[in-house]
Chains A and B, each alone.
Chain A
């Protein structure tokens, strides 16, 4: 039974420059109401059991996280778990260690995967200490939110 609302989970660390991207995206979604009232907006730090807890009983969960896959800072990657092969950046090369990949593995064993899990990764430029996103990552927020809106419109 998928009784809970669909959700966007922004994963990030507030004081690690571009690593705050997921949190900033959720803040923007909260302030603009862009996705409407039917979508839960959640900020998490990427700790796997917290992710798994939020996934339970949901049809669609979309995760937004900063990541590094060798591309240009600010470029956006989309992975649908169970459809696409899990890329390396969802494992130990993510800014949150094995966070999302480990959570997927745990949720599969515990049979609590959402019906659909989509992960948006945005390439970071800098994850040292700092409060502000770098310009290239900040510029990715608007196009990313357009993509999120499409996920929930379809």
Chain B
């Protein structure tokens, strides 16, 4: 829909398709220059922070899992890590491996959804995955098959795919037998092979040039590629224990958004997600993932957000290879969970949601009641950087017709896979030319 008024032009779109969540984007152009880009994001975690106060210390994993249908495991894992930290309990060995395995299922599902249903159509010239499927049914079918295998990890280990119910503070309610995991392993082998084909496909796409200059921030998980994490690191020297996250990262309200914008204190905006993980810890990818990344010519540090589709595809290979490795080493733990008795304390947890670092902080009293909760989701951390990318992309392409500019702006946002409901549901994009 186009509205014209004397001296200015405003374009409105309906749904900013293929990015779900709630929010809007506004671009203002004056005298041929971009003067403002605002990503207006509605952010459920703020509601949940209030909702968690007064709850039992055992409840946040289940409650926060409902923030997002696509990354419930991320919320469960960061919540568990933070509460266990507050109480002073360590979960390790097979239980920690099972958490990683569950998380692999979520990475596979979420990344594969984004690659096939949202991102690939952008590069292949289709408006939607449905149009893509008309011409390349095999590509979409393969994506659905891979996604379904990720889904099966969630079902076997999480009890169900949507909002897994088998996770608790300290571990799980029930752990799988070796036999159950071996059944899964056969499917994971198929998934691994298919996921390598996806890397080969997406690396052949034609990518616009864009160099994202932002500081890259990721969790650090010692000698493993970050899925879980114990520290937070960046490519500009940030290297802190999780407990110091809020000493270095500040969130502030900006006028145009209900979401908080995060920045590194005295340094500015930053980017989380696959580009950050891969740049910071790419050498720790599973051999199969490293090999295919090298084979398709993915550079060791990739700063082009359009090429994030390749990094996601490589991370899917990593998730399959990691899941297989975990199953091969698996010995069922003696008990499904470490006992966690309430104790007063403050705890912090970070893990890597598919779209980037997710931080939780809880303060618990001696009776086990949650006194306060802080949740910093990945999209609010990357938001200022996404706006920055948009600003420059629109500025560089300012003479494009509005419809094309709008389409490209949407693609620029989709590059970062803003969370389906934890941060965004783009309903409106306006380009205002004065």
Contacts and interface: CB of A to CB of B under 8 A. Distances in A.
A43 B140 CA distance: 24
A98 interface: yes
A50 B147 CA distance: 9
B154 to A, nearest CB: 11
A134 B66 CA distance: 19
Nearest to B130: A105
A126 to B, nearest CB: 14
B47 A110 contact: no
Given A47-B69, A92-B14, A106 B51 contact: no
Contacts of A15: 44, 48, 51, 66-67
Contacts of B66: 13-15
Contacts of A75: none
B137 A129 contact: no
Contact of A92 (B15, B67, B137, B160): B15
A105 B148 CA distance: 19
A129 B48 CA distance: 9
Contact of B144 (A44, A52, A98, A105): A52
A63 to B, nearest CB: 15
Given A13-B69, A14-B66, A97-B20, A102 B47 contact: no
A110 B116 CA distance: 14
Contact of B425 (A47, A97, A129): A97
Contacts of A6: none
B133 A53 contact: no
A49 B113 contact: yes
A22 B69 CA distance: 15
Nearest to B14: A92
Interface string B9-34: 00000110100100000000000000
Nearest to B17: A98
Contact of A49 (B15, B51, B137, B147): B147
B161 A50 contact: yes
A110 B147 contact: no
A50 to B, nearest CB: 7
Nearest to B134: A109
Contact of A110 (B117, B140, B161): B140
B137 A109 contact: yes
B15 A106 contact: no
Interface in A34-51: 43-50
Given A109-B134, A109-B140, 17 more contacts: A13-B421, A14-B66, A14-B163, A43-B160, A43-B162, A44-B162, A45-B69, A47-B113, A50-B162, A92-B14, A97-B425, A98-B17, A102-B128, A106-B130, A109-B137, A110-B140, A129-B47
22 contacts: A13-B66, A14-B163, A15-B44, A15-B51, A15-B67, A45-B69, A45-B162, A46-B69, A48-B117, A49-B117, A53-B144, A53-B148, A53-B151, A97-B425, A98-B15, A98-B17, A102-B128, A105-B130, A110-B137, A110-B140, A110-B141, A110-B144
Interface of B: 14-15, 17, 20, 44, 47-48, 51, 66-67, 69-70, 113, 117, 128-130, 133-134, 137, 140-141, 144, 147-148, 151, 160-163, 420-421, 425
